[in-house]
Amino acid sequence: MRSIQDFLKSNRTLLVACVLIIALMNIVVRDFVQDDGYITFRYADNFTNHGTLYYNLDMRGPYGYSNPLYVFILSATRLISLKLLSFEFISRVIASFSLGVILFQ
């Protein structure tokens, strides 16, 4: 039985093509954000501007975000006045190219 490393070495061209396709799709489809992304953006905005982790400012209830680390990263991004959609796009492109680096070490 072949190992994963053997598979990666023998199919390097196919993997390079897949990583490039993923990276290009992230660049071409720039304005596509799932609804969960906008929910996270709202939590990050409320945390940055009002210091609360609630979706609606006038209501109190359970937290509804599923990715607290990303909320805090986006909040830090808002503190330096970068648009959230711009940061989201940049992070997707970096993640795509990082995938290639990890696969081809």
Domain that holds residue 19: 4-103
Task: Report which of 104, 92, 87 is spatially closest to residue 18, judged by C-alpha positions.
Answer: 104
Q: Who has greater pLDDT, 48 or 99?
A: 48
For 37-85, the pLDDT digits (tens) are: 788 888 888 898 888 888 888 877 777 788 888 888 888 888 887 777 6
Split at pLDDT 50, 70, 90, the class of 1 is: low
Residue 41's Cβ-side half-sphere holds a number of Cα atoms within 13 Å equal to 13
In the prediction, which pLDDT does 102 show?
A: 77
Alpha helical stretches, state H, the chain: 4-10, 12-28, 35-50, 68-79, 84-103
Task: Report which of 36, 44, 34 is spatially closest to residue 66, judged by C-alpha positions.
Answer: 36
In the prediction, which pLDDT does 32 show?
A: 67
Number of domains in the chain: 1
Counted residue by residue, the chain has a size of 105
Residue 78, both tokens: 């808002």
Distance CA 23, CA 37 (A): 19
> pTM for the complete prediction?
0.60
